[in-house]
Amino acid sequence: MRLPPQPGEWLDRSAVLPFRFEGRSYSGFAGDSISAALWAAGQHTLGRSFKYHRPRGILTLANHDINVMLQTPQAMNIRGDVEALRAGMELVAVNTAGGVDNDRNRYMGLLARFLPVGFYYKAFHTKALLPLWERLIRNFSGLGKLDLSKPALHTPKRYDFCDVLVIGGGVSGLQAALHAARAGAQVVVVDENARSGGSASFQFGGSVAGLQALRELQSAVAEEPLIRVLTDTTAVGYYADHWIALIDAQCMTKLRAKAVVVASGAFELPAVFSHNDVPGVMTAGAAQRLINRYAVRPMQTAVALVANSEGFTAVLDALQAGVKVAAVADMRSQGPTCAARDAVREAGVRVLDGWGIYEAHSGDSGRRVTGVTLARLLADGQADTSTKEHVVCDGVIMSVGFAPAANLLYQAGTSMGWSDTVQQFVPAKLPAGIFACGRVNGVYDSEAKALDGQRAGMLAAAHCGFGSQHDVPHVPEALRCPSHPWPIVAHPQGKNFVDFDEDLQLKDFYNAAQEGYDNIELMKRYTTNGMGPSQGKHSNMTALRILARIIGKTPIEVGTTTARPFYHPVSISHLAGRGFTPERHTPMRALHTQAGAVWMAAGMWQRPEYYAVAGRSRMQCIREEAMNVRQRVGIIDVGTLGKLEVIGPQAAEFLERIYISRYANLAVGMTRYAVMCDESGVVIDDGVVARLAEQHFYFTTTTSGAATVYRELSRLNTLWRMDCGIVNHTGAFAGVNVAGPQARQLLASLTSADLDGAAFPYLGVREIDVAGIPARAMRVGFVGEWGYEVHVPAEYGAALWQALMQAGTGLGIRPFGVEAQRLLRLEKGHIIIGQDTDGLTVPREAALGWATKLEKPFFIGQRSLQAIAKRPQKQTLVGFTLDIPGMATSQDSHPDMPSESHLVIVNGEISGRITSVAFSPALGHVIGMAFVTPALSAVGTGLPIRLTSGNMVQAQVVALPFYDAAGARQKEVSA
Amino acid sequence: MPWRLLKFAMSDRHPEPRMFTPHGQLKSSYDVVIIGAGGHGLASAYYLARDHGITNVAVIEQGYIGGGNTGRNTTIIRSNYLTPEGVKFYDESVRLWQDLATDFDLNLFYSTRGHFTLAHTDASMRTMRWRAEVNKHYGIDSELVYPDFIQKAVPSMDMSCAGHAPILGALYHAPGAIARHDAVAWGYGRGADMRGVEIHQQTRVLDILTQSGRVTGVRTSRGDIACGKVLCAVAGSTPRILKMLGLRSPIYIHPLQAMVSEPMKQWLDPILVSGSLHVYISQTARGELVMGASLDPYELHSTRSTLDFTESLSAHMVEMLPQLSQAKVVRQWAGMADMTPDFAPIMGKTPIEGFYLDAGWGTWGFKATPVSGKTMSYTVANDRAHPLIEGFAFDRFERYALTGEKGAASVGH
Amino acid sequence: MKIMTCPINGPRLISEFAYWGECKTMPEPADCTDAQWADYVFNKSGAPGVKHEWWCHTPSNTWFIAVRDTMSDVIEKTFLYGQQ
């Protein structure tokens, strides 16, 4: 029920927010969390547990458990305990059948005795039935439901920088920030809550003194210009070099700090007793947050189970909120006195020393606690059932201990040690630049916390070069132990939960150990403790204590499981960001689109696959583009090729070392095909080398190889330190290839250069003007017609294209794309690296033996090729033809047409594979290239090819090239 | 309700025996010492005991059972590889997987889901068709499928991948499956344990003792063991063991990262892998989405996580499955992948007599757990490489006889 | 994200760098056996340790050597080749 305004409450009562839960109407205030508003309205069954579908309510209210997991039409897996209430929310609990109050799956609880730890490994695996069981299990599991029709949500990312990042805005964190800033450091404080203050914002003990002190501290921080406080912001992961991922509702911020102070506090641990999961049983922190942040009375009548002074402080808060406290069971038989405990006694509350809760009761529905059975505790922690006493209550407040929220410390590489004094892990060895303070550091007393924060802040600032480490305050030793070493009471009926996410009870751990899963990692994986959405925040320490007792080891000997990002789950939308997929375009892009280009990706580049023509199919367009090259003149944009230069006295020698052929003897003004291998002798790239001058070469690479080749050549020259320099002009030059019987006439109309065969021979390179644009022109033979490859500075690319298209109108010019070029080069038997070669192809296998000059002094791959030459050749690339009736007129695919990668099958064995295949309009039949075993490589050999359907077709090996063997179309034929 | 669960209700005391016998001291000698109690090591121990009657075996494990890559991988099982030797090898593994739960009497949650390797470029389609043809030749159920088929299997997929990398088709492999990785180690472990094999956890190997090029024993952190045969199955730790013997190999270690979402109601049936986007995803029986991507780009002997891994994986995943932007990632982790230049393992004998190696498992090791156990146990028992692993010999690099598997794996999962 | 210090450009995010691998010394091709050559081509040092590696700062195409502990990922120093 809602209380009158509380000092320090987080509500804005002027903003009333109506919402719906499970189809019913409720309202809350701005500042409420969803669970708080529901609790205030009397709705206490807020969820159903994962396995047994037991009713659940508020447990930690700190996002250390997922009892309250909700869904709206807009969002999945909402954590009701910490999610801010908004007007109009339509909420349902996840994973119920028929609603949270009457979940039909609650009968699973009745089956609990059949479903012990690891039960799903023991059954369901009869081969015949597993698919059925699996379907059932899959339908049963899972929490929220993903809306498959939702479009992608893109949230932009931010970057941030600071000297000192303080994680956690409680008292010790704020003190750390203040002192770091006063030393001169730029500080960012992040806190996952809506406001800073940490436990000081709700552990009031019935008085406002602490709140006043907190407000003063918060003001001091607000006035400090070097401090930024980011609330509703969670540090979810620590990464190398102090790179921290910060998550808020809008986006992810990636922050680089020079030092990090972890002041993240501690997890309050639920006590373990039978039916400790019934709604109404909650941690002290949950009760105090309800009272002091949200002005909600958590229960009418409470029993408190405590083992520290924090518990008594919570009782005082409860009393102040009008809760009747029927009894306080202090699990310590001789707990030290403290002011809060004295005040509780003075208020007339019955305190039982050395007592615990044996079991909680909940009536038939199980939906709300109705009372507890207390019992004296024996030395080993078991209940002395002869002393059982029933106490009526509708709420239990537990304050039995803590575990440090040390996830980010672990992620940063901190080694933790065990402190017997405070019965928790504390940092033992912190990495450089990482500091810890407050409860995560084992410091619980308020004054000590403030000093600890000051200490950490000053050290962090000093680490960044601000202030000094010398006046760092001394933090007094802990005076008391805030954590009970065994807050666990066994019960024959069980239902004493350790991991509430996974419905794991005390006996599950004993059973797992009995089965041999008795180290901390195996125990986790077998029981799934800590593998649910809370990732062990409320359960790992308890599980560790249980295992330690079972195997007779200390907590430090047992060890912890690995803490990994993320501290709280992070939305994929935040991780994905807006997404950025760059594309590279040539300068002629718009012109291609205007001409009807259908685009395809070539690595990061976009290239025209072909140019669409109304009324013609894709295949027809490609064939017609190709035929136009053979009959008239075609033009293709080759600007995506890698374009490099090497210049200097040792330029020729450099090329000799990186390519398999000779270049020292390449005449100035001539070009030569170039093949590159890696150190193991495998072909990795090809191109054309042009010699512009004695010490100046211009050479190309494949489109996809450009960047890696350039980078590797740079590395080689760094290593070899040859007297030459390498330049990458790939993006700086545009390039076109004009080819066909009319190509020379076309070019002649745009240049004054002498294009006669004597002046500009086949394979020559000339620097000429084309349409007034300074260009490098090379006579090339890739597509098998008279052709020129023209490279110009990129800013002239579009002008060059337009000039050629214009000049070529009367000559029948037509642009052609990648597919037509593939077809044309295939007719000439030219290989494409990566298509007609694979990750193991060496030159001799790809008919490049002629280009391999093993007699050179050195080239990359040479020594390996020498070793390989001694071994039998494994495969050979051959040309083949195939006659398929009807292919000439077929529009697109023909059922008997083989595809690339179809296999050659001889005597039932795989004996080869097609690498390229197409119907050649110039030749009138199907042509292709295939790798075959050397035994099948002789011209005239039959190649049986298996199609996808399983049918066989018969091809014949022929000599390459298929078209114009003498090369008369592309060069001068000597008389 | 399966009948076998009734016994849990009948008894007050948990009626289950120990899976793994705790052992005190190491004996002074064993016939075989296996280094590594991961899936492969335990599978080898299991088959050595069950099929070859060799039970005087110690499995030495520096951490806990299955704590290495066996406990970290993303559990994809398939046989749609590129090379004949790969296909035959992994096919045998898939065969063995079918009966494993029955052999162990332990549910492995072996779930046949169907596996798509998506192709976004024509080069990729060529590779997929190549794999399909080789698979079919060996009787494996794989085929090249086109966008309609894929869209039907995953109606919510954006086939254009946000317009950046339209899906042209895929290699569809119906037998593709997932399983509960830890349970495989436990099953093999228990099976070996039951037959007398000793599993010693928290025990480090400090050195391997040899004389005249032959194994004589193992030095551990808990004492020396004499033995004539050592099988090394330690994945990411392989180079450290090889160094003890002065053996060089092409193995290089890079982290391989993965991440998992919160559990959600079932919606993704098949396993999806994209070569161009370099991402893959499947949904477990618990409802979690397990996701991964490519190898980390540089050598590192650590299982540390990076934020950029989650960022680029998420960005690409959302292009393919836009609705995923609502889902949340709970945890990320990594394993240490022992990579080889030809994306195939290194298995069998080595230049040191009595030292057998099962390594080079890169991103393809979990699915091979049963067949690696089968073939390595044969190899150790007979001191001769099993026929299925002849193509994966230790000395193949020296002979320039690399396998051709690299074409298949842009993201080898 | 991890930081690598380019000898020319200073500290940059590691995503700006390409990793080539451990520096290795090429044996004289004429003087070594096929097996020795194959060892040079394919084999690696493998085990973790402090290694000299080739790295490239790709936006500026700066190749350099990094001395890095491949277990802890601590980069001890970076320098241009030949300028230890």
Per-residue pLDDT tens for A144-197? Answer: 889 999 899 989 999 999 999 999 999 999 999 999 999 999 999 999 999 999
A570–B contact, CB cutoff 8 A: yes
**Interchain proximity B239–C43, CB inside 8 Å:** no
Out of A711, A866, A867, the one facing C56 most closely (by C-beta) is A711
Report, as an integer, the average pLDDT of A553-558: 94
pLDDT of residue B266: 95
Report, as an integer, the average pLDDT of A592-606: 95
Out of A240, A718, A867, the one facing C34 most closely (by C-beta) is A867
Q: Are strands A876-882 and A925-932 parallel, antiparallel or unpaired?
A: antiparallel
CA–CA min distance A412, chain C (Å):
12
Q: Is B11 exposed, middle or buried (0-12, 13-18, 19+ CB in 10 A)?
A: exposed
Report, as an integer, the average pLDDT of A658-671: 98
Q: Are residues B238 and B329 in the same domain?
A: no
The enclosing domain of B50 has a CATH number of 3.50.50.60
DSSP string, B4-72: GGHHHHH-SS-----SS----SPPSB-SEEEE--SHHHHHHHHHHHHHH----EEEE-SSSTT-SGGGT
- CB pairs < 8 Å spanning A and C: 45
Distance CA A700, CA A689 (A): 7
**A62 within 8 A of A285, measured Cβ to Cβ:** yes
Domain final residue, candidates B307, B339, B371: B339
A91-100, A638-647, A812-821, A881-890, range with the lowest pLDDT = A881-890
pLDDT at residue B251 is higher than 80: yes
pLDDT at residue B413 is higher than 70: no
Report, as an integer, the average pLDDT of A1-28: 97
Q: Are residues B276 and B313 in the same domain?
A: yes
Per-residue pLDDT tens over the stretch A244-295: 999 999 999 999 999 999 999 999 999 999 999 999 999 999 999 999 999 9
Distance CA A458, CA A631 (A): 82
Per-residue pLDDT tens over the stretch A577-598: 998 889 999 999 999 999 999 9
Out of B84, B164, B183, the one facing A581 most closely (by C-beta) is B164
pLDDT at residue A110 is higher than 80: no
Q: Provide the number of structural domains found in chain B.
A: 2
Q: Are residues B354 and B389 in the same domain?
A: yes
**Interchain proximity B107–A517, CB inside 8 Å:** no
A72–B contact, CB cutoff 8 A: no
Chain C residue at shortest CA distance from B400: C38
The neighbours of chain B, by the rule of 3 or more Cβ pairs under 8 Å, are A, C
Does B45 map to a domain?
A: yes
- The model's pTM is 0.95
CA–CA min distance C51, chain A (Å):
17
Q: Provide the number of structural domains found in chain C.
A: 1
Does B151 map to a domain?
A: yes
Q: Which domain holds residue C63?
A: 3-79
Q: Are residues B151 and B257 in the same domain?
A: yes
**Interchain proximity B299–C51, CB inside 8 Å:** yes
Does B63 map to a domain?
A: yes
Which band of pLDDT confidence, cut at 50, 70 and 90, is reported for residue A740?
very high
pLDDT at residue A891 is higher than 60: no
C39–B contact, CB cutoff 8 A: yes
Closest residue by Cα to residue A58 from A289, A235, A252, A222:
A289
pLDDT of residue B62: 96
Does B393 map to a domain?
A: yes
pLDDT of residue A895: 85
Query: Could you tell me the two tokens for B376?
Result: 């390595």
Q: Are residues B146 and B263 in the same domain?
A: yes
DSSP string, A365-384: T-SS--EEEEEEEPTTS-EE
End-to-end CA distance of chain A: 107
Out of C18, C22, C42, the one facing B397 most closely (by C-beta) is C42
pLDDT at residue B412 is higher than 70: no
Does C84 map to a domain?
A: no
Which residues from chain B sit within 8 angstroms of residue A579, using beta carbons?
A: 162, 315, 318-319
Per-residue pLDDT tens over the stretch A249-261: 999 999 999 999 9
pLDDT of residue B410: 40
A711–C contact, CB cutoff 8 A: yes
CA–CA min distance A174, chain B (Å):
27
Domain final residue, candidates B339, B355, B390: B339
Which band of pLDDT confidence, cut at 50, 70 and 90, is reported for residue A973?
low
Out of C1, C47, C73, the one facing B239 most closely (by C-beta) is C47
Out of C34, C39, C48, the one facing B248 most closely (by C-beta) is C39
Which band of pLDDT confidence, cut at 50, 70 and 90, is reported for residue A139?
confident
A141-145, A731-735, A742-746, B261-265, range with the lowest pLDDT = A141-145
Which residues from chain B sit within 8 angstroms of residue A153, using beta carbons?
A: 325-326
**Interchain proximity C81–A243, CB inside 8 Å:** no
Which residues from chain C sit within 8 angstroms of residue A718, using beta carbons?
A: 63, 81
Distance CA A837, CA A825 (A): 15
Chain A residue at shortest CA distance from C29: A863
Q: Are residues B277 and B335 in the same domain?
A: yes
Which residues from chain B sit within 8 angstroms of residue C70, using beta carbons?
A: 253, 299-301
C69–B contact, CB cutoff 8 A: no
Q: Are residues B264 and B162 in the same domain?
A: yes
Out of B107, B144, B342, the one facing A121 most closely (by C-beta) is B107
Q: Are residues B245 and B204 in the same domain?
A: yes
Does B58 map to a domain?
A: yes
Report, as an integer, the average pLDDT of A356-361: 98
A110-124, A830-844, B57-71, B283-297, range with the lowest pLDDT = A110-124
Q: Are residues B369 and B317 in the same domain?
A: no
Closest residue by Cα to residue A306 from A208, A448, A426, A402:
A402
Report, as an integer, the average pLDDT of A892-912: 92
Does C66 map to a domain?
A: yes
Does B95 map to a domain?
A: no
Report, as an integer, the average pLDDT of A208-224: 97
Which residues from chain B sit within 8 angstroms of residue A607, using beta carbons?
A: none
Percent of chain A with pLDDT over 90: 90
pLDDT of residue A968: 92
**Interchain proximity A241–C42, CB inside 8 Å:** no
pLDDT of residue A113: 76
Per-residue pLDDT tens over the stretch B87-138: 999 999 999 999 999 999 999 999 999 999 999 999 999 999 999 999 999 9
Per-residue pLDDT tens over the stretch A716-735: 999 999 999 999 999 999 99
Query: Could you tell me the two tokens for A937?
Result: 């490589």
Per-residue pLDDT tens over the stretch B297-341: 999 999 999 999 999 999 999 999 999 999 999 999 999 999 999
Q: Which domain holds residue B221?
A: 28-72+182-251+342-409
pLDDT of residue A737: 98
pLDDT of residue A890: 64
CA–CA min distance A435, chain B (Å):
20
Out of B1, B267, B314, the one facing A572 most closely (by C-beta) is B314
Residue-averaged pLDDT of chain A: 95
B299–C contact, CB cutoff 8 A: yes
**C68 within 8 A of C74, measured Cβ to Cβ:** yes
pLDDT at residue A107 is higher than 90: no
pLDDT at residue A213 is higher than 90: yes
The enclosing domain of B259 has a CATH number of 3.30.9.10
pLDDT of residue B189: 96
Task: Give the dihedral sign, CA A168/A170/A174/A176.
Answer: negative
Does B22 map to a domain?
A: no
pLDDT at residue A350 is higher than 70: yes
Q: Are residues B271 and B328 in the same domain?
A: yes
Which residues from chain B sit within 8 angstroms of residue C18, using beta carbons?
A: 297
**B291 within 8 A of B259, measured Cβ to Cβ:** yes
Distance CA B118, CA B267 (A): 19
Query: Could you tell me the two tokens for B257?
Result: 């990262």
pLDDT of residue B411: 37
Distance CA A674, CA A763 (A): 13
**Which residue do the tokens 């140019």 mark?**
A611
Q: Are residues B65 and B210 in the same domain?
A: yes
Domain final residue, candidates B339, B356, B375: B339
Q: Are residues B247 and B259 in the same domain?
A: no
Does B16 map to a domain?
A: no
Which band of pLDDT confidence, cut at 50, 70 and 90, is reported for residue A887?
confident
The enclosing domain of C27 has a CATH number of 3.30.2270.10
Which residues from chain C sit within 8 angstroms of residue B399, using beta carbons?
A: 38
Q: In this structure, which amino acid lies at residue A456?
A: A
**B76-77: strand order across its sheet:** B76-77, B177-178, B111-112
pLDDT of residue A278: 97
**Interchain proximity A240–C61, CB inside 8 Å:** no
pLDDT at residue A886 is higher than 80: no
